[in-house]
Structure 1
Amino acid sequence: MGKLLELRSLALLAFSLFVASILLRKPQKSTEIAMPTITEIFGVKIENNPPQSKLDELSVTTWPKYNSEPSKIPWTFKTRETMYIVEGKAKVCVDGHEGSFEIGAGDLVVFPQGMKITWEVL
């Protein structure tokens, strides 16, 4: 009986060392790439964190900049308009729809022509 307990103890020790070696193993670097997410809300297309190549292709750095203090602004898009949010966030209420949604830093947003909204710069 003494040898059986000793073998079980050795087996338990070996198993414990095996589990510890797995848990203490250095994590491998992830090869996952964060994929941008694209959603559409009330006809507004929002791409969160688009790839830099897309921003370069659109020449985003040459676009005019708009800054605003917190405020509410009604707006009608006379043409289809694409914007990239560099910093901050805004709540958007689309006329004819209940509810609102937020856009913020890292979002590439496309508003369709003729859409009427109210911005609430937060």
Structure 2
Amino acid sequence: MTTEKLGIKITNNPPESKLSELGVRSWPKWGCPPSKFPWTYSAKETCYLLKGKVKVYPDGSNEAVEFGAGDMVVFPKGMSCTWDVSETVDKHYLFE
């Protein structure tokens, strides 16, 4: 199931067939410990979380978008936000 909130799209537990189709397992990996930092997307990013728990606050919004391990998340190009990582993140990512 895919939901969209504040411009961020989240797919909960996409099937392995979908991950294979996209080649997710061969995408580069990135991780970080619990922390809070600002980020701006210079390109559209699709990522798949292997582990972790995150709340993202898009600039100008008091609302957060939450996601975690097993979620595929798409951030639009040009979005500025603050990442609030509560559990260490390990993810595959792809910039388009």
Task: Give identity over the alignment, percent.
Answer: 55
Does residue 3 of structure 2 align to residue 39 of structure 1?
yes
For the aligned residue pairs, the C-alpha RMSD in angstroms reads 0.8
Is the strand fraction higher in 1 or 2?
2
AA partner of residue 51 (structure 1): P
The equivalent residue for 2:62 is: 98
Match of 2:41 among 77, 84, 88: 77
Using CA pairs under 8 Å that are at least 6 residues apart, name the structure with larger relative contact order, 1 or 2: 2
Cα shift at 1:64: 1.2
The equivalent residue for 1:108 is: 72
Q: What SS class does the counterpart of residue 84 from structure 1 fall into?
A: strand
Is the helix fraction higher in 1 or 2?
1
Greater C-alpha Rg? 1
**TM-score normalised by length of structure 2:** 0.85
**TM-score normalised by length of structure 1:** 0.68
Cα shift at 1:101: 2.1
Runs of at least 4 residues off by over 3 Å? none
Structure 1: gaps spanning 5 or more residues: 1-36
